[in-house]
Amino acid sequence: MSKEAPVGLTILEKLIGLLMIAIGALTFYVTYTNLGSTGGNPILFLAAGLALVVLGAFLVIAKTE
């Protein structure tokens, strides 16, 4: 017997994924537009922003079981 995930859990997972995408995109955009003022290593912040976008997309696409 397979159990279905509660509807609220599925909706919350998708909302958190969308929030992660928004935060990651904002982090990437702000870092990319201000490369000169970020100091020594903006690659760290660009990579973190992209990682948040990828993880958020995975949460949105993933099927909750």
Report pLDDT for 27. 93
pTM of the model: 0.83
What's the CA gap between 16 and 58, in Å, rounded?
11
Query: How high is the pLDDT of residue 2?
Result: 59
**Domain limits, the chain:** 16-61
**Tens digits of pLDDT across the chain (65 residues):** 457 778 888 889 999 999 999 999 999 999 999 887 777 788 998 999 999 999 999 999 988 76
Q: CA–CA separation, 4 vs 64, rounded Å?
A: 8
CA distance 27 to 32: 8
